Every structure is written in C-alpha cells, then in structure tokens.
Structure 1
Amino acid sequence: MIRLCSACSRLILLTALFFSTSPVARAADASAASGLNVLAFGADPTGRIDSTSAIKQAIESACSRNSVETPGIISVPSGSYKISGVITINCSNITITGAGKGNTTFFPTHAGDVFFAENLGPGPHLYSINFRDFQIYRTDNPPSGSGIHYRKVAGGTIDHVAVVGEFSGIEIESSISLFFSDIDPGGDNTTPLSRLWWVHRAGPNEENPSENFIVNSNSRALHRGSYTYGLLLQDTDGFNMANYHLGFTKGPALEIKAQYPTDIVVGLTFSNGGFDEAQYCIHSTRAPGDTGAREAWNFNGVLCELSDLDGFHNDDPRLINVTAVGSAFFLNGRHGVNLSAGSGFKLGQSIFNANNRENRGGSHVVLSGTVTDVNLDGCSFVRNNGRNPVDYDVILADQADQISVQTSKHAGAAKGDIDNRTGGRHIALSALYSERAENAGTGKSLAGTTLPIGGSHLAPGSCASGAVAIPGARTDMTAIASPAAGDAGDGFQIRAFVSEPGMVIVKVCALTEAIPATVRYNVRVLE
C-alpha cells in the first residue's frame, strides 16, 4: 500500500510539472511507469520535423537513470516520425514502445541502421533491449543498414513490429537469447544482397549468435524482384523459428553460408511454417576453406514449394544430421531435394508432388556426389498430372551410399520410379505401392517373383520372409521388391537383398504389432 500511494503522489506531481516547466525539464522528471514520452523531448508525430534528436535524448535520459529494477521505457505515441540518422542504444534495460504497428511509424530518410543496440562497455553484452508496437517504413532503398540491429546483446524482445523496405529487416550479430514474436520484416528493397533477416558474427573471433527464438513471423517481400535472401544465416549455435513464412525473394528463402571460415551453423529448428516462391527454399553451400561445423538441423513438417530451382539443396560435405520428416516439397522448379554432399538426412514420410515445375529435367529427389546415409522410407511420390512430369522419383548417382527408399509410394514418374546409377553398395530399395510395372535402373536387371509372404501375426520388429531364386544375382547387386498385387498394409517395412549368389530374400517387417496381408512380391536385381 505504501508503494501504491507513493506512485499516486508522484504521478500527481509529474502532471503538475508537465504543465509548468519546459519540454526538456518535463522529460527529465518523467520517469513514471508509463516511461519517457518522446513528445516531451520535442519529437514531432506529424513527420514534418525531424525527430531523431528527440528520441536520442529520451534514450540518453533513460540510460542515465535506469537499472534492472527500474528499466528505461521510451514511449512513442501514435504518429509518423521522421528519422534522419542512426538511433543508437548503448546501455542495458531499454524498451522502445509504440502505440501499435498501424499507429506508430518511423520514416527513415538516411542510409544505415534505424535502431542500433551495441555493447561498447567492458562486459560481453548489453542486456534486455526491447522493441514493441510500431513499424519502420522506408520509401527508398538504402545501400546498407538494418531496421533493428542487435550487436553483442543478451536478452531482448521484439513484439508486434513490422519493418518495411530496409536493406536488412532484422540483424542479429553476436547476440544471444533474443525472443521475437509477431514480427514482419518485408516490403520492397531491390538493392543487391539485401535480406529480411541476417544472423552472423561481429567478427571472426567474436561470439556465436545463439539460442535466438522467432515465432509468428511473416517474412515476405512485396514482389519477386525484391530482396536477395529471406533469411541469411551465416553463424549460429541455436536458432529457432516457429509459425513462420519465409519467401517471395529473388534469391533463397533460407541461405546458409559462412561469412568467416570458422563460422558454425548448429542447432536449427524450423517448425510449423513454410518456404516459398524463391530461388531455393533452403540452400546450403560451402566456400573453399570453410571449417566450421554444420549439424543438427530440424525441419520436420515444413512446406517447401514454388522455388525456381530446388526445394532443399546442399553441397556442403560438413553437413550432418538433418531431419525433415513429414515435410512437403511441392511445385519446385527443378528438384524437390538435391543433395550432393553431407551425411545423415532423415526425410521419411515426406510428400513430393509436381516438382520440375519449370521443366528443367528435374526429379523429386536427386542424391549424388558423396552424400551418405539418407532415409526416404515411407515417402509418397505423386504423379504430376497436368504438369511437366519429373524424370524419376529418385535418382541415385556418383558415390551416393547408405540410401534407404522403402515402404514408399510411387505414382509413375516419366522415366521410372528409381534410377540407380550409384557406385554405393549399401542401398535398400523397395516400394510399398507403384503404378509402374517395374522400377527403372540404368544397369542390367534380373527378375523373379516370390511365393506369398504374410498372413501371420507379427510383433513389432519381427519379420515374415520369403526367398526367390534369381540366377545371375550377386551379393554386390541391389535388390528391389514391390507387391505383385495389393500391398502388405500400413506399418510394414519391406526389404530385399541378395543373400547368396542366385538367391534373394524378401522380408516384410512390422513397425507395430500387426498382421501383413498375404502378398507375392516382384523382385528385381540391378547390376
């Protein structure tokens, strides 16, 4: 009760002072819970007079008196505010708050950042730098600069903010533990190499950005000629984006490439969102001399569609452990997924539909180069009815190895379901259902049909098996099995392998407790 009465008395006193002193004097005493009002420092909400100096004075006043217990709150009422220079924040515990995205607008007229929070002190970070309830709207295209730029900041939020037309919408530089919600970087910027989001280190020996979270973000340009990147991710040790939309960009929606040779990109999580209408949905590449780690990326359940080239493209051999289970790759211009390097890609239960949209000789999935350990089990490859057909559902080439394409559904690509031309020897291929009479391969094929397999109860992990003699089959050849008619049912994995010269074993293994239907299996052995 004492604190409440004290606050009431102080509010009455401040109200009296507001009407009896100059603007600067009023602002110096205005530290009530509602914060420092920029109007008291001379900001002009009509946009006719430059408000840069007034907002800087409000921040300086807050920095001179704030603390963890009494953070500095800068209040920006409804209106349009002209900004002609960078507004810097060099102290901790600062919040810039407007009256809403559609009510408070900053109009920058200079090249460079609009808001720039940077630690200049002896410690490693600034702490708790927050922005909420306003929009930044630029009408020209600057050669550089960001709408909101964090450098060496730990802990901060951006809530209910839109950034339109900046070279970089939001820039996260050697900053950690930031949380952004309901933020929309976008608009129209045709400057080369511009980006909606940029995450990177402040220098080759600086801290990795880490554990930053973005939720509810619609990051899109106004038209496809705008912005080179949606999200340019150059270094991070933990980056999370949920309920998002990235795209409508001239370059990749998500571009992952190093700025410095030791940059790392570790611990990515993208959930409940999508990439679309970009050069690539996800593009990961390596420059000569790069040594930093690339691992633990999670794209489960994402939608990737309408890219000009590939949905997911990787040529970086350092990349390991990528999970994109249950994702969808639709209407991409060339390939749905194109991997030529890396290891440990889990893409099972995904859907591939109507890729090769631009008639570029594309296929749903291309695995080539040195890529290893790719799982495509349980995927559905859909016929491109009424569109440019894909050449193959899956192409295996070069030294691609440890590939599994089992219990998948094929609806008939133009040239075949699977084109296996790889030199790898650890290939497991079988189809749960195919509209084609055979799986396609580039080498010599040998064939046979098993006796009926199934009809008995199977515990999880147990298998029903059958054998078929196929003269000429060798243990270094790849065997493919598909039902001659019908299928085993849901929840089964079908494997085929040459057990000894001239003999192929087909196994129907239960993923859960079930009884597989009794089915004969057509077997092809590819040389």
Structure 2
Amino acid sequence: MRSAPAEAFIWFLFSVPCLFCAHPTSAQEKAVLPQTLNVLEFGADPAGKQDSATPIEAAISAACAKSKAVSPRTIHIPPGSYSISHTINISCDDLSIEGSGKGVTTLFPTSSGDVFFVKNNEKSPRLYSVNFRDFQIYRTDDPKSGAGIHYLNVVGGNIDHISVAGQYIGIEIESSLSLYFNDVNPGGNNKSEGSRLWWVHRSGPDGDNPSENFVVNTNSRAQQRGTYTYGILIQDTDGFNMANYHVGFTKGPALEVKSQYPGDVAVGLTFSNGGFDEAQYCIHSTRAPGDTGNRGAWSFNGVLCELSDLDGFYNDDPRLTNVIAIGSAFFLNGRHGLNLSAGSGFKLGQSIFSANNRENHGGDHVMLSGTVTDVNLDGSSFVRSDGRNPVDYDVVLADRADQISVQDVKHAGATKGDIDSHGSGQYIALSAVYSGRSTTLGADRLALAGTTPPIGGRRLEAGTCAAGIAVVASAQPSMAAIASPAGTDAGDGFQIRAFVSAPGAVTVKVCAISSATPVTTRYNVRVLE
C-alpha cells in the first residue's frame, strides 16, 4: 500500500508538465492531448480500496464520445492495483487501453464474468481496432466463467505485453479476425472444470469463423498441474497461427480441437518453434456428434511435444486431412508418441516419436489403427526411454490402417520388435537404418536436455525475475526451448520462461506476476535440435 506522500509524488509525475521538453502547439494539443485519458481523473483507485471498474468505464465512454480524427483514442491506467467489480464493456472503434507494465499495473477482478468484453454495438455488425497493452489481470479464487479479455465480432487489434492469471478463460476469440497477440501470457491456476487458457470459437451456428489470428511469444501454462482443463481449445477457425510458444501443465490436452456447433471448421492451424508439455495429451483432435465441417491444412514446424500422460498427437476425426509435422518431436509420452485412428494425408517424416509407458499402458511409439490412411513416417526416429517401462513396438498397424510408409528410420529397440502389422491395410515395408550409436534417450541427442542450478528462494518484486543457466551442448539461439520444474513448482503468481541465450546455454527465468518468493527448485530444460 502506498503512503500519502508516495501518492502525491505519483500525482505530481503525471500532472506537472516537463519543464525541459518541447511542448505541442495549441493546434496539436487540440488534436492529440484530448485523445489520452487518465482513469485517475475519473475516480479509479490505484490502492485497490475502492472499485475501479465504473471509473474505467466512464473514461472509456468519454473517449468514445471524442472524434476519431486522431486514432486510436487511448485510456491510460497508471501504476497501481485496481479492484474490478464487474465486466468492463467496450463497444466503440479505434480505442486503446494501456497500463504502465505487466508488473506495474494490476487489475484484481472480484466477480465472475469477463474483465474486458469487446463486442460490436447495435449500429454495426463489426467493431474495429481495439487494443490492449502493458498490464496484468490476477486472481486466485477459481471463477467458473469469464475471460480476461474477450473479443466478439471484432476486426483488428494489437494486444501486447499482457498477463492473465487465474481467470476461467484467459483469452477468448469469438467470431473475430485479424487480432495480433505479442507477449500475452494467460496462466496461473483455475481448478474449475472446463477452464482454458485460450478459446477460439464461433458466436453460434450462424456466427462468423474466427480468422487469421496471430499469437507470438506466449508462455501459456498453468502454474500447478491438475488445474486448467485446456491449454488451447479451438472449436472453429479458418486461420490460427502461434509461434514461439510454450503451452501445457494442464490436466486435459495442451491443444484440443473439437467442434462446438455442426459445421464448425478447423482449417489453417499453424504452430511453429514452440512446445506442448506435461498435459493429458499434447495435441488432441476428436470428432463431436453431428460434425460436418472441414478439418485440415495443419502445420507443426519445429514443435516439441513431451511428457503427456497419454499420447503426444491423437486424432480420431475422419475429416482431418493434410497435416504436416516434419522435423518435430513427440517425445516421452505416456502411451504413444503418435496415435491416429482416422483421417488421411499425414506427412510426419523426419520427426521423433517416443513413448515411455509411464503408467504401464502397454504403449508403442506409434499406433496407427481404425481407418487412418496415407501416413508418411519416412526418415523418423523412434527413441527408447530409460527402460524402466519399455514399450512393445516402434510402430503398430491395426484394423484398416492403409498406405503407411515407414522407411529409412532409426530403430529404437522396442521390446517386441520394430513393427507389428495385424490389420488389413497395406504399408511400405520398414527399412530401419542403424547409425551405430545408442538410441537411448539423451545419448543420440535427438532432443537436447539439461538442468539448471536451483532458482528461487528470495523475494521478487512484481515484474522482476530470478534466473539460472543450464548448460546444453549444441544448443543454438535459433532453437526453441522449454523448462519445467524438476521438483516442487515455483508457486502461484510466477511465469517460467526459457530461451537459448548463447551457444550451449539455456537461460531460465522465474518472473513474478505480483510480489512473492518462488520456491527454490531446479528446472529441466528441453531444446529441439
């Protein structure tokens, strides 16, 4: 809590003009200065003792009443901790909500429902260009509804440097398009069933498809395993792109693709240079009753999927076609690295598939069954785990799995053999390539790994980080890295980030969303070679 002198000093900083700065002309003042409104002038309380939702709405209403001659109109939320008692609605174009930094401006919701709901008004079927940047939303009470930021029927928006912790839904994209998210990190903990970090869907059976939305540089991860149900839930889209990401630590799938309404489509999914980890499934695609929409044109480039409870990549939807995942790793997953029972046109060559049979599922590295057809695994590697729970086969072909190509692969030494075919389909005979080196995890460097020294144990102020470096031979700054606790989790209110900071070195940062002390622990890192 700030003292009165501190509050006065902050007011001084924001209210006294700079004596040494060039000042705008009167014409410029009329055009520019009225476009930025400070929520403190409308009664917002940065100490959090009084509700600030209504004052922020008042600032938004005042901004929306102004001319759009200079766009966007901006609402500024200064440093502080603001109590939010109800949803803040936005229904005008060309508006920006800006804080002073993720660790500096914090909104604390005290009720269920969205924190920000951006939606079209009765005058227009679409809203245009609503932006957010530089603040965080934080709660710990497991709400059963509501998103941190919810877009409905919106075209265009830049969302930068935002953290959302503990909401039922982190970010909701509903029938909206051309949204660009950079350094937006939904996370924290929410134990409510159905909670999700990202949700992409239509507004109804006749709603528009969410389209051409982009997410980069995101760490979307629950803080405690067994909290969020989904990392990303996609129910309808004809263009969703995510790059430089880390998604996982959820009790359900890290990425779930399942329709909500008949006719929902899921086309044009692109994921590159990132990782899914420590979830029920890394990627789970399934058919819902009555599905009729198209599925396909999915691309996974340089994706590291590891340590799922069941399968790395699972699909049972016969409509799914044209999936490319060349040069990716489905690594150390509990039952199967890859499990396909339907669909066609899977180009998965030069990838890594590994199951570690952690729960004694009787797993195999790759399971192809049902009606799946046209699967190419050429040039891939099947990697043995530590041997405590050995898998049965590298590849199992069952039922009517057909047109399967498994050539020029690196053999893993599964317990019962390389390939088991007991179905009615056809496959191109296995041609295993032995490189003369061990294929035990870690020895062949198919995935690069290391462990940091202990990180944590000292108090961090909001927005600051503790860091450690793991030595990972052959790691290069162009590679993607992820980190997970080797023991106890850091605790609530922290974001974990990993990146290759120099050749052979991976930096792991434990960053505080609000002031707290992270539990001291080491972090395991994985780097996709």
What SS does structure 1 have at the residue aligned with 2:65? helix
Deviation, 1:34, is: 7.1
Is the 8 Å Cα contact of residues 401 and 427 (structure 1) preserved in structure 2? no
- Structure 1 residues 263-342: aligned runs within 5 Å: 263-342=264-343
Could you tell me how far apart the structure 2 residues matched to 1:221 and 1:66 are? 42
Quote the Cα distance in structure 2 between the aligned partners of 1:315 and 1:403: 17
Q: Which moved more, 1:346-355 or 1:185-194?
A: 346-355
Q: Is the 8 A contact 2:71 2:95 kept in 1?
A: no
Q: Which shifted more, 166-175 or 124-133?
A: 124-133
> Which is bigger in relative contact order (C-alpha 8 A, separation at least 6)?
2
Alignment of 1:118-517 (within 5 A): 118-433=119-434
Partners in 2 of 1:189 and 1:30 — Cα distance? 44
In the alignment, the residues of structure 2 paired with residue 358 and residue 346 of structure 1 have an alpha-carbon distance, to the nearest angstrom, of 29
SS in 2 for 1:62: helix
Q: What is the letter of the counterpart of residue 223 of structure 2?
A: L
SS in 2 for 1:331: strand
Query: Are the equivalent residues in 2 in contact too, given 1:329–1:355 (CA < 8 A)?
Result: no
The CA distance in 1 between the partners of 2:412 and 2:287, in whole Å, is 35
**2:83 counterpart residue number:** 82
The DSSP-based 3-state class of the residue aligned with 2:371 is: coil
Asked whether the 8 Å contact 1:354–1:387 carries over to 2, the reply is no
- Evaluate the alpha carbon distance shift between residue 48 and residue 10 of structure 1 in structure 2; reply closer, same or farther with a 3 A threshold: farther
2: CA distance, partners of 1:242 / 1:392: 33
Compare 88-97 and 63-72 and name the one that shifted more: 63-72
5+ long unaligned stretches in structure 2: 1-20, 437-529
How far residue 187 of structure 1 moved from its aligned partner, in angstroms, is 0.3
Task: Determine if contact 2:335/2:355 at 8 Å carries over to the other structure.
Answer: no
Contact 2:51 2:82 survives alignment (8 Å): yes
Q: Report the counterpart of residue 71 of structure 2 in structure 1.
A: 70
Q: Residues 341 and 67 of structure 1: is their aligned pair in 2 closer, same or farther, counting only changes over 3 Å?
A: same
Instruction: State the 1:300 CA deviation.
Output: 2.0
Aligned residues: 417
Deviations 1:222-243 (A, max 9, x none): 1012110000000000000000
Rounded Cα–Cα distance in structure 1 between residues aligned with 2:355 and 2:264: 36
Deviations 1:464-494 (A, max 9, x none): xxxxxxxxxxxxxxxxxxxxxxxxxxxxxxx
Q: Summarize deviations over 1:421-447 as a string: whole Å, max 9, x none.
A: 120134343222389xxxxxxxxxxxx
Distance 1:69 1:31, change over 3 A: closer
Which residue identity lines up with residue 162 of structure 1 in the other structure?
S
The match for 1:7 is 24
Q: Does 1:101 align with 2:102?
A: yes
CA distance in 2, matches of 1:387, 1:235: 41
CA distance in 2, matches of 1:277, 1:167: 20
Q: 1:256-288 deviations in whole A, cap 9, x for unaligned?
A: 000001100000000000100110000000012
Tell me how far 1:8 sits from its aligned partner.
3.5
Distance 2:67 2:339 in 1: 53
Q: Displacement of 1:6 after TM fit?
A: 8.7
Hey, what's the Cα distance between the residues in 2 that align with 1:233 and 1:112? Answer: 20
Q: In 2, distance between residues paired with 1:387 and 1:331? A: 12
Is the 1:30–1:36 Cα contact (8 Å) retained in structure 2?
A: no
Contact 1:300 1:326 in 2 (8 A): yes
Query: What's 1:451 paired with?
Result: none
Amino acid at match of 1:146: A
Q: Are the equivalent residues in 2 in contact too, given 1:412–1:434 (CA < 8 A)?
A: no
| Distance (whole Å) between structure 2 residues aligned to residue 417 and residue 225 of structure 1 | 35
| Structure 1 residue ranges, 4+ long, deviating more than 6 angstroms after superposition | none
Query: Following TM superposition, by how much is the alpha carbon of 1:329 offset from its aligned partner in structure 2, in angstroms?
Result: 1.3
Instruction: Please tell me the residue identity of whatever aligns with 2:41.
Output: A
Q: Sequence identity, in percent?
A: 69
Aligned-pair CA distance for 1:35: 1.0
How many Å separate the matches in 1 of 2:53 and 2:186?
22
Q: 1:7 to 1:356 in 2, by over 3 A?
A: same
1:70 Cα offset (Å)? 3.1
Question: Is the alpha carbon distance of 1:65 and 1:382 closer, same or farther for their aligned partners in structure 2, counting shifts above 3 Å?
Answer: same
CA distance in 1, matches of 2:119, 2:71: 20
1:359 is displaced (CA, Å) by 2.0
Q: Give the TM-score normalised by the residue count of structure 2.
A: 0.76
- Name the CA distance, whole Å, in 2 between partners of 1:171 and 1:259: 14
Note the C-alpha offset of 1:353.
Answer: 3.4
Q: Is the 8 A contact 2:263 2:291 kept in 1?
A: yes
Cα deviation 1:174-220 (Å, max 9, x = unaligned): 00000000011000100110000000000110100000000000001
One-letter amino acid of the counterpart of residue 138, structure 2:
Y
Residue 71 of structure 1 and its aligned partner are, at CA, apart by 2.0
Structure 1 residue 111, shift from structure 2 partner: 0.9
Q: Distance in 2 between matches of 1:229 and 1:310?
A: 15
Report the 3-state secondary structure (helix = DSSP H, G, I; strand = E; otherwise coil) of the residue aligned with 2:61: helix
Q: Distance in 1 between matches of 2:45 and 2:67?
A: 25
Deviations 1:9-51 (A, max 9, x none): 368xx8xxxxxxxxxxxxxx99617710000111110000111
Give, in whole Å, the separation in 2 of the partners of 1:255 and 1:70. 37
Q: Matched residues in 1 for 2:387 and 2:424: separation? A: 35
Contact 1:34 1:75 in 2 (8 A): no
Where in structure 1 are there 5+ consecutive unaligned residues? 15-28, 436-527
In 2, the alpha carbon distance for the partners of 1:5 and 1:383 equals: 66
C-alpha separation between the residues in 1 aligned to 2:426 and 2:308?
33
What secondary structure, in the 3-state scheme, does the structure 1 residue paired with 2:63 have? helix
For 2:126 and 2:223, the matched residues in 1 are separated by 35
Deviation of 1:84 (Å): 0.3
Deviations 1:331-369 (A, max 9, x none): 111100000000000110011235323221101100000
Counterpart amino acid of residue 73 in structure 1 = T
Q: Distance in 2 between matches of 1:303 and 1:225?
A: 21
The answer to whether the Cα contact below 8 Å between 2:295 and 2:321 also exists between their aligned partners in 1 is yes
The alignment's C-alpha RMSD in Å is: 2.0
Q: Distance in 2 between matches of 1:157 and 1:270?
A: 20
Q: CA deviation at 1:301?
A: 1.7
What residue is the counterpart of 2:479 in the other structure?
none
Give 1:54 deviation, angstroms: 0.6
- Residue identity in the other structure for 1:47: G
Q: Which moves more between the two structures, 323-332 or 66-75?
A: 66-75
AA paired with 1:196?
Answer: L
Q: C-alpha distance in 2, partners of 1:33/1:388? A: 67
What is the CA distance between 1:5 and its match in structure 2?
9.0
What is the aligned partner in structure 2 of residue 514 from structure 1? Answer: none
Q: Larger C-alpha radius of gyration, 1 or 2?
A: 1
Distance 1:31 1:300 in 2: 44
TM-score (norm 1): 0.77
8 Å contact from structure 1 (residues 411, 434) kept in 2: no
